[in-house]
Amino acid sequence: MVAEPGPAAQRGASASGDGRTRHAVARLLLERGPIAAASVADALGVSPTAVRRHLDALVAEGEAYARESSSRGRRGRGRPAKQFLLTEVGRARFGHGYDDLAVAALRFIADHAGEQAVREFAEQRVAALVADHREALATVRSPAERAEVLADALTREGYAATTRSVGSGEQLCQHHCPVAHVAADFPQLCEAETAAFAEVLGTHVQRLATIANGDAACTTHVPVDRSARRSGDHRSTTDKTPADPLPKGRQEHAPIPDGGESV
């Protein structure tokens, strides 16, 4: 005898069905929008009440919006029916070719102008990224504090960045990378970003992991001379002796041991 599915399984099946119906509603808006709720219901064979519920959810999530239909679309003497369209957020549900386009453009640059042109593009891009935050970074003296300011700046740019203290310095972690798929083919983007971080932080840094390389976050080690700070040594960051090197290989958010030869 087959057991009846429990309440949890029934709720899961219902949610799955709702998800498929909502996706179908969104696809209809993509293919036929602007379109009225009644037309969506007729096309999908779903009740008007259910369609309106899904449309309201899409609007609430910013994936769709409603507008009044043209006068030619009026039925009878009442108010014209609302018509629904997808927003850019809603279109993203079906994917974009932006990454493919960016990769193709950089390959074209590399083929026709050389690898140095790709590197110059990467450097110009990251320079523009940090340009608006240079003034804030210039007011902070220590690399540790600058790392925190840089993390806040990167978060405002969509990188979801944080910092954490480790034995020999700070780790700057970017939990999101908008260009990760492109950087997987063109590591110059990551290399230029690392060089820019070193320049604005006023100390050499080392990239430990990248999302483009399959890691969970882009992690950059920022060495900090904590002993000098405790002893009251307030030299500028550019005068500090380079920190000890980091072990090779992927290390995400791992403490960096002291000792060894500088990188």
Residue-range domains of the chain with CATH? 10-69+79-92 (1.10.10.10), 126-239 (no CATH)
pLDDT at 227: 61
Q: Which tens digits make up the pLDDT trace of 165-182?
A: 988 899 999 999 989 999
DSSP state of 13: H
Token pair 């140095």 is found at 116
In degrees, rounded to 5, the angle at the alpha carbon of residue 188 between the alpha carbons of residues 183 and 194 is 95
Query: CA-to-CA distance for 164 and 159, rounded, in angstroms?
Result: 16
Write down the pTM of the prediction: 0.59
Residue of 173, 179, 123 lying closest to 150 (CA atoms): 173
The C-alpha atoms of residue 255 and residue 236 are separated, in whole angstroms, by 25
Report yes or no: 45 and 39 within 8 Å, Cβ to Cβ: no
Residues of the chain with pLDDT under 70: 1-17, 70-80, 226-263
- CA-based nearest residue to 122, from 194, 74, 171: 194
